[in-house]
Structure formats: structure tokens, C-alpha cells
Chains A and B, each alone.
Chain A
Amino acid sequence: DVKVTQSSRYLVKRTGEKVFLECVQDMDHENMFWYRQDPGLGLRLIYFSYDVKMKEKGDIPEGYSVSREKKERFSLILESASTNQTSMYLCASRPSTENTEAFFGQGTRLTVV
């Protein structure tokens, strides 16, 4: 089975802290994604990576950066956490084949206080 693992299910951080959310996939997928999920807004794409060291901004990249040094690992970085970044964060991976679905991690509920 494809496995996408996020390093934490729950995180509580203070305003201004630098926060790292880690995601690892075990299926050698080229594409990896970070989404933010908020009630009534669905899933919004923060960043997308299509290869090692390659990244593309999604719809809401402000306040976030990413790192992909190895194919299996995609990290989301909140440079200076703010309360409006309190949310559910979902990592996903997907092969570069149009008809395949994305596989998701279990999500990280981040609370910034």
C-alpha cells in the first residue's frame, strides 16, 4: 500500500515561531503537495513539487516555504507562525500520470497561539 506519513498529527506553536511540517512518501512519486484545509474553503494548494529541488507556488503560498531535498520527503515551513495559520495541513503525493489519484497523509492539526 502507498503510504504518506506526516510527522505530527497535532502541533501547538507560538506566534513568531518557525514551524516545520514533514511529509514522507514511500512510492517514489514525482509529485508532492501541501494543502491547507479550512471549513467551508475545502482544500487549498499551498505549494507543489514535481521533482527534487523543484517547486511551484500554489494558490496561497504567502507565509510558507517548502523544501524537497530528497524525492520521498517534502517539508512545509512556516517562517514566522501567525494565528491565521491555525489550520489542518494535508500532504499528498501523486505519480506523473494523469489518471492516477493523489494519496494523502493523515493530516497535521496546527494551532498557533
Chain B
Amino acid sequence: AQTVTQSQPEMSVQEAETVTLSCTYDTSESNYYLFWYKQPPSRQMILVIRQEAYKQQNATENRFSVNFQKAAKSFSLKISDSQLGDTAMYFCARPYNTDKLIFGTGTRLQVFP
């Protein structure tokens, strides 16, 4: 079965601190892509970062970076210098059957001042 698992329903972090959101997945493929999405309270889902499985280097986008452990099938998101605007639901996702995307159950992140 194709699954994406986010084991942390809720997380909180103080402004300017670092937080890591966890994601594990199941796949039998050797090359694939992984995505982290952010859904702020306004509800528009947007892409945060993507990782290609064959690339050894972890993806980075400004304050957002991933820790990709291919053998462990783990894809965690690290947010550095957290800001109030990072408060949102975060979803981990991966494609399956080429075109579809399967999502995890999400982690609600609250950033406190």
C-alpha cells in the first residue's frame, strides 16, 4: 500500500526557534519525488519544498530544509528561525501512479511569540 505517515498531529514552537516535522512513507520505487505543503489558516495550500529521491543533497529553501533519509524512508521538514507566519497545517506528500499525489494526515504547527 502507498502510505504517507505524519506522526505528530500538533507541534508548537517559540518564535525564532527551530522545529522539525516528521514524515515517513512507503514505496517500492527507486526514484521518486517528495513534497512538503503548507496550508495557512486562509486555506490556500502552497508548496514549501520538494526533494528528488536520487539526489543525495537535502533540499533547502531559505529557512526551510529537509532531512531526507532514503533507506529509512523518512522525509522531515526543518523550519529555522520560526516566524508567526509559519503557523499552518503542514502536509507531506508523494506522487504515486505517476500523476496522483498521496498526502499524510498533516501536522498543525503553532508558532508562539
A33 to B35, CA, bound (A): 17
- Interface range, B side: 20 to 34
A102 to B33, CA, bound (A): 12
Report yes or no: B99 in contact with A96, Cβ–Cβ below 8 A. Answer: yes
Chain B residue numbers with a CB within 8 Å of A104 are: 44-46
Partner of B103 from A42, A94, A98 at Cβ < 8 Å: A42
What is the chain A residue whose CB lies nearest that of B42? Answer: A106
Chain B residue numbers with a CB within 8 Å of A50 are: 99
Residues of A within 8 A of B (CB-CB), count: 25
A31 to B96, CA, bound (A): 13
A68 to B10, CA, bound (A): 37
Does A48 count as interface, using CB distance less than 8 angstroms?
Answer: yes
Partner of A101 from B6, B50, B102 at Cβ < 8 Å: B50
Report yes or no: A98 in contact with B100, Cβ–Cβ below 8 A. Answer: no
Partner of B45 from A90, A96, A98 at Cβ < 8 Å: A90
Q: Which chain A residues (67-113) contact chain B, with CB distance < 8 Å?
A: 88, 90, 92, 94, 96, 98-99, 101-102, 104-107
A102 to B105, CA, bound (A): 17
Using CB atoms and an 8 Å cutoff, list the residues of chain B in contact with chain A. 6, 9, 32-33, 35, 37, 42-47, 50, 52, 91, 93, 95, 98-106
